[in-house]
Structure 1
């Protein structure tokens, strides 16, 4: 019975089969255990010497890569040139470690291929690091290097698995050697012991490995990572549980996405709400400060909106507000965040936009609103205008609240000067 077909049996059948092959040798195992114990220990030490060396070398390699990666991240934050020299030293040490382990003759084909792939990824990472050291550390380069280092770590983890598989294979060799030694004493005892070991390994690998996958999945769920999926294609009870687990994860992911979307949107206009505005403004301000990017904020108010509500009713006022929101959304870029700031006040966050760009967009919004009509379901035509104020980072404010305050002051000036105007801080 091969491992694949054994894993397709039910857990109950597997347990019964394994118990059958385990209990038979237990009666006679004690007879030969003392004879071959020392011999088996010597074989194990000899066979595991090379895997232990490879494990230690790979662990050292991972630590050097982490250290070098940390130097690049520190440089991106502090711009200290001494970190470049330290990185060169760490990078050379890492390359030397790759060369050392790849030169060993006892590497298997799979191990050699994985190490060679990891080395090429590391060399690509060194190129990205040099690009970061010779520039202002763009976010794209930092992100690419992070992804590359993560791929290297993943590859080295695969090598660990290959090493452990090698150790398991060597243990099997030891078991076979022990069985051959026992056959000298009694062929029946040796056969029974091999059967017991094989059955225990089959059961452990077919049950414990999937259970570890479930444990990893629950850990990801605990950390609010609902994108993780179990990769268990068994036809037994565990396989069915894994499919149910993945189905549940998909459903939870959809519900979470829907809830996040609902919590960030204004119910009337569909624009981002005040909380989302503040969160995005804080993020964009931090990004602009870190990378030296431009950032502007527009705040606008519908002129005499109270008169619209008083004259035509609140339903007509809602229709007017929705129409103005749609006009702003059409005028803005996909990367801009259009928000309902409060009441009839709307706001737009403009990443990578300076004061002149904000002025152009603000005037386009003002003109499109002034030239448009809102027709209510009752056929009433309503025309409104907007007053707009804008502010740019960092000259008008170097924080999110500072930008909002400056744009609000500009909006107040536009209203004081007659409305239907655009004013800067």
Structure 2
């Protein structure tokens, strides 16, 4: 593991900034970005991925931008840190050959895959936190109605315990399909699997009461059945609760309601 003094790490960061768009020093234990000149925390940092035996690793950027973050374990003044260097693939970056275009397509597919719940195909919590909440906050500041409806599949835990993962997943898939049809296109509303048997339907432009009524009607008119085995079928129920941004005044409080 490379060791640096305060003066050396400052010079290293300055040198890397000539080649990368962002260079940050991370305290992995505190999950905080630190000032290379003082080693004092300056803000929150995302969790560092698992690094290899040499203390190195990388991951693609999954937000609206496309690029990579490269990580390396180092020591500064005998304290462990991670050096993170970010390189963005800008839209005007020449990419005329097949390999470059294939890489950009692959990264786009990977980013979309990582935004989706692996069981139901709806959006996951990572998408909600990294991308959609920014859209929601901007819409609320512009005066548009922002609402959220939580949909709890009541039978999920009993199914998981008594019938197994396959039956519970089939139940979730059916519920997700009904919610997606009722919510409409992704451009208007987002259906997110929050955790286990809980979904969120987030809307920009529709009041919470109206959105909840539409979901309640769709669930009531749909066949809420799923396959447990080839010869057995089950039925599920869904509990709904809703909140408007105006009631809470913030994203976290709105979701908590």
Tell me the TM-score normalised to structure 2 length: 0.60
Counterpart in the other structure of 1:233: none
Counterpart in the other structure of 1:367: 220
Counterpart in the other structure of 1:224: 89
Is 1:401 the counterpart of 2:225? The answer is no
The structure 2 residue matched to 1:331, chosen from 159, 182, 189, is: 182
Question: Relative to 1, partners in 2 of residues 1:356 and 1:389: Cα closer, same or farther, differing over 3 Å?
Answer: closer
**TM-superposed deviation, 1:281:** 4.2
**TM-superposed deviation, 1:269:** 0.8
Task: For 1:404 and 1:251, locate their aligned partners in 2 and report how far apart those are by CA, in whole Å.
Answer: 39
Counterpart in the other structure of 1:354: 207
Q: What SS does structure 1 have at the residue aligned with 2:248?
A: coil
Contact 1:323-1:374 at 8 Å conserved across structures: yes
Q: What SS does structure 1 have at the residue aligned with 2:211?
A: helix
Task: For 1:360 and 1:293, locate their aligned partners in 2 and report how far apart those are by CA, in whole Å.
Answer: 19
Contact 1:227-1:249 at 8 Å conserved across structures: no
State which structure, 1 or 2, has the greater radius of gyration over its C-alpha atoms: 1
Contact 1:300-1:346 at 8 Å conserved across structures: yes
Task: For 2:160 and 2:179, locate their aligned partners in 1 and report how far apart those are by CA, in whole Å.
Answer: 21
Counterpart in the other structure of 1:18: none
Is 1:379 the counterpart of 2:231? The answer is yes
Counterpart in the other structure of 1:309: 160
**What are the superposed Cα offsets for residues 291-350 of structure 1, whole Å, 9 maximum, x if unpaired?**
210111011111132222233322111111111111111111102111110001111111
**TM-superposed deviation, 1:285:** 2.9
The answer to which structure has the higher helix fraction is 1
Structure 1 unaligned spans of 5+ = 1-221, 231-244, 407-425
Q: What SS does structure 1 have at the residue aligned with 2:161?
A: helix
Contact 1:331-1:361 at 8 Å conserved across structures: yes
Contact 2:125-2:192 at 8 Å conserved across structures: yes
The answer to which structure has the higher strand fraction is 2
**TM-superposed deviation, 1:229:** 3.6
**TM-superposed deviation, 1:226:** 4.8
Q: What is the total number of aligned residue pairs between the two structures? A: 170
Counterpart in the other structure of 1:255: 106
Question: Relative to 1, partners in 2 of residues 1:255 and 1:226: Cα closer, same or farther, differing over 3 Å?
Answer: farther
Contact 2:147-2:244 at 8 Å conserved across structures: yes
Q: What SS does structure 2 have at the residue aligned with 1:390?
A: strand
Question: Relative to 1, partners in 2 of residues 1:227 and 1:264: Cα closer, same or farther, differing over 3 Å?
Answer: farther
Is 1:389 the counterpart of 2:254? The answer is no
Counterpart in the other structure of 1:283: 134
More displaced 10-residue stretch of structure 1: 281-290 or 264-273: 281-290
Structure 2 unaligned spans of 5+ = 1-86
Superposed, 1:198-277 pairs within 5 Å as 223-226=88-91, 228-229=93-94, 245-277=96-128
Contact 2:133-2:251 at 8 Å conserved across structures: yes
> Taking CA–CA contacts closer than 8 Å with sequence separation of 6 or more, which of the two structures ends up with the larger relative contact order?
2
Task: For 2:118 and 2:218, locate their aligned partners in 1 and report how far apart those are by CA, in whole Å.
Answer: 22
Superposed, 1:29-68 pairs within 5 Å as none
Counterpart in the other structure of 1:66: none
